[in-house]
Amino acid sequence: LASSEAMWALYERWREHFKQERDHEEMVRLFPRFKETVQRVHEVNNSNLPYKLQINKYTDGKLLDLITTFRITEEDIARYKAQGFLDDDIE
């Protein structure tokens, strides 16, 4: 798909576009998941399927990281949605 440098540049543009705050250490830690997700999206979008995927503000796995780290429950997610801290499309 692209060199690591080009993928890192995409990661930085993604972060700016979706207004995602990350320090350098966190970016380094989350970059492999971002890269894997982008590659998967690229593969699916080039495989003649009747649908296309897109990257979004969750592409680097930060939300999954938080849920796993803090063991956020379904009730927590529902509460965060009700308070406007999470989008309704999060399950």
Q: Which amino acid is at 22?
A: R
Is 25 within 8 Å of 63 (Cβ atoms)?
A: no
pTM for this predicted structure: 0.70
Main-chain dihedrals φ then ψ at residue 21, nearest 5 degrees:
-80, 125
Direct distance between the N- and C-terminal alpha carbons of the chain, in angstroms, rounded to an integer: 30
pLDDT at res. 91:
56
Is 55 within 8 Å of 14 (Cβ atoms)?
A: yes
Query: CATH fold of 4-82, please?
Result: Helix Hairpins (1.10.287)
Give the whole-angstrom CA distance, residue 60 versus residue 37.
7
Q: Residues of the chain with pLDDT > 90: what percent?
A: 60
Q: Of the ranges 5-14, 31-40, 76-85, which one carries the lowest mean pLDDT score?
A: 76-85
pLDDT at 7 over 90: yes
Domain range summary for the chain, segments of one domain joined by + = 4-82
